[in-house]
């Protein structure tokens, strides 16, 4: 690896690692933080559902503004988002009481972070096109590793210092991220002009008409992440009947997160052998197998095996879907494409939150996992049609 590539990659690694370290604090420990602030479980659900719904609305809107190639660049939006997260974290550290204020601030920073996520990915492709060569898979994999390590460390820190440590850690990570982003400037090279007949499809219906295969794939991905989020959100309810404990839950979460690193780090080499379309179908099949194993698990050993499928499911889906967008879409639509991938993840989480809690109350974890398995199977069928039939036509047009 050349010194220049190492330099660009190192800074991009820091951007990813700090993002997902903060993601751990805002997302993984959201219930812990909000419960300490006096929120009921119902109010926590409303807060997170509202934040997710807002992010679904704002992700394509912000992406559309960036795709217009004006002053609102990926880097500028990343810096603004990081600054907003930093201000929000400071306010949440200062405000000790006041549920309404905490509700508004937490929902907003949760939403901002979701909107910001696809922009990090789009920034990689923008910089790569400008000659700033970066090992994306390695950087994204270390982002997941940062999430895994931070989650474990944060859990111990909360036990020792209290819930306020969450915002203190977020402030530290966000400050580092803002400094790195400030100096993460693309070389001054003349950007290639879009083709004269190229237009940005900022209207949803225009986008669907232009990329029907991709948008059908997004629908399939919503189904994948319905099951993915059901397992993540209700892990303790799933493993308790098997004799699992909170400590074993922590182990299961760590296994899934840390195994993302080797897959993502090697994904560039894998894509030279297997097409993006086929890899996305492999990821969908892995989501299906993961859910099936969780459903039939007789003990924690099989739960751990199910979690290990993360290296073929989520760890393949995330980087490969990013490359798939870049390959199949015109330049003026690529940031929106990344946003719609993230929207699929978010919507999967929203539907899972709304449905799976009720399924658990009515029929228990096995029924919830059975429904998740059926939904994932439907998603895999949809993805097959989208990627194998419609996707090829889109690649020919791009």
- 341-359 average pLDDT score: 84
| Alpha-helical regions (H) of 25-40 | 30-36
Closest by alpha carbon to 77, among 113, 45, 41? 113
Please write the tens of the pLDDT for every residue from 222-240: 999 999 988 887 887 888 8
Which range has the worst mean pLDDT, 38-47, 130-139, 164-173? 38-47
Distance from C-alpha of 362 to C-alpha of 368, rounded to nearest angstrom: 9
pLDDT in tens, 88-114: 999 999 998 889 999 999 999 999 998
Nearest to 110 by CA among 51, 173, 30: 51
Q: What is the Cα–Cα distance from 375 to 288, expressed in whole angstroms? A: 9
Rg (CA), the chain: 20
Distances (CA, A) of 329 to 119, 200, 345, 395: 16, 10, 20, 8
Answer whether 1-185 and 201-398 agree in fold.
Answer: yes
Half-sphere exposure of 316 (CA within 13 A, CB side): 25
Above 70 in pLDDT, residue 152?
yes
Tally the C-alpha atoms within 13 A of residue 252's C-alpha that lie toward its C-beta: 26
Domain positions in the chain: 1-185, 201-398
What is the average pLDDT across 164-177? 94
Main-chain phi, psi angles of 234, to 5 degrees? -120, 30
Those residues with Cβ within 8 angstroms of residue 96's Cβ, 6 or more apart along the chain or in another chain: none
C-alpha to C-alpha distance for 148 and 154, rounded to whole angstroms = 10
User: pLDDT by residue (tens digit) across 114-149?
Assistant: 888 888 988 888 888 888 888 888 888 888 888 888
Lowest mean pLDDT among 151-155, 195-199, 383-387: 195-199
Burial of 78 (0-12, 13-18, 19+ CB in 10 A): buried
Provide the 3-class DSSP secondary structure of residue 23. Answer: helix
Residue 330 or residue 299, greater confidence = 299
* Whether residue 176 has pLDDT greater than 90: yes
Write the CATH number of the domain with boundaries 201-398: 1.20.1250.20
pTM: 0.81
Q: What span, in angstroms and rounded, lies between the C-alpha atoms of 236 and 226? A: 17
Residue 70: predicted pLDDT: 64
In angstroms, rounded to a whole number, what is the distance separating the alpha carbons of residues 163 and 161?
7
What is the dihedral angle through the alpha carbons of 297, 299, 303, 308, rounded to the nearest 10 degrees? -110
Nearest 5°: the CA angle 145, 151, 155 is 155
Percent of the chain whose predicted confidence (pLDDT) is above 70: 91
129 touches 3 (CB < 8 A): no
Q: Among the residues of 309-390, which ranges form H helices?
A: 314-328, 334-363, 365-384
Give the C-alpha separation, 232 to 120, whole Å: 24
What is the overall mean pLDDT for the chain? 86
Q: Which residue has the higher pLDDT, 156 or 305?
A: 305
CATH superfamily, with its number, for domain 1-185: MFS general substrate transporter like domains (1.20.1250.20)
* 54, HSE (Cβ side, Cα atoms, 13 Å): 17
């Amino acid at each position: 690896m050349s010194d220049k590539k190492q330099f660009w990659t190192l800074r991009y690694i820091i951007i990813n690692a700090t993002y997902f370290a903060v993601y751990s604090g805002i997302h993984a420990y959201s219930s812990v933080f909000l419960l300490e602030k006096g929120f009921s479980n119902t109010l926590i659900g409303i807060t997170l559902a509202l934040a997710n719904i807002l992010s679904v609305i704002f992700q394509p809107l912000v992406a559309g503004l960036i795709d217009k190639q004006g002053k609102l660049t990926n880097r500028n939006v990343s810096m603004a988002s990081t600054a907003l997260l930093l201000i929000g974290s400071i306010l949440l550290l200062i405000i000790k009481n006041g549920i309404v204020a905490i509700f508004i601030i937490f929902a907003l920073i949760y939403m901002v972070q979701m909107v910001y996520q696809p922009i990090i990915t789009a920034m990689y492709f923008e910089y790569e096109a400008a000659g700033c060569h970066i090992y994306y898979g390695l950087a994204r994999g270390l982002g997941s590793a940062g999430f895994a390590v931070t989650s474990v460390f944060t859990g111990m820190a909360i036990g020792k210092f209290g819930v306020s440590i969450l915002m203190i850690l977020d402030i530290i990570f966000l400050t580092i991220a803002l400094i790195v982003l400030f100096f993460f400037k693309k070389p001054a090279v003349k950007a290639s002009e879009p083709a004269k007949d190229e237009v940005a499809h900022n209207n949803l219906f225009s986008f669907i008409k232009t990329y029907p295969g991709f948008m059908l794939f997004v629908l399939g991905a919503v189904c994948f992440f319905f099951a993915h989020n059901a397992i993540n959100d209700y892990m303790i309810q799933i493993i308790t009947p098997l004799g699992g404990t909170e400590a074993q839950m922590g182990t299961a979460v760590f296994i899934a997160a840390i195994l993302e690193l080797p897959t993502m780090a090697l994904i560039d080499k894998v894509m030279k052998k297997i097409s993006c379309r086929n890899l996305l179908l492999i990821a969908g099949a892995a989501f299906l197998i993961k859910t099936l194993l969780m459903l039939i698990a007789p003990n924690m050993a099989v739960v751990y095996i199910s979690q290990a499928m993360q290296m073929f499911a989520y760890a393949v889906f995330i980087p490969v879907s990013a490359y798939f967008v870049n390959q199949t879409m015109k330049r003026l639509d690529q940031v929106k494409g990344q946003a719609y991938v993230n929207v699929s993840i978010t919507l999967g989480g929203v539907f899972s939150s709304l449905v799976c809690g009720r399924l658990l109350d009515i029929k228990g974890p096995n029924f919830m996992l059975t429904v998740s398995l059926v939904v994932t199977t439907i998603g895999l069928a949809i993805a097959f049609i989208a990627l194998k039939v419609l996707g090829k036509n889109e690649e020919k047009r791009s």
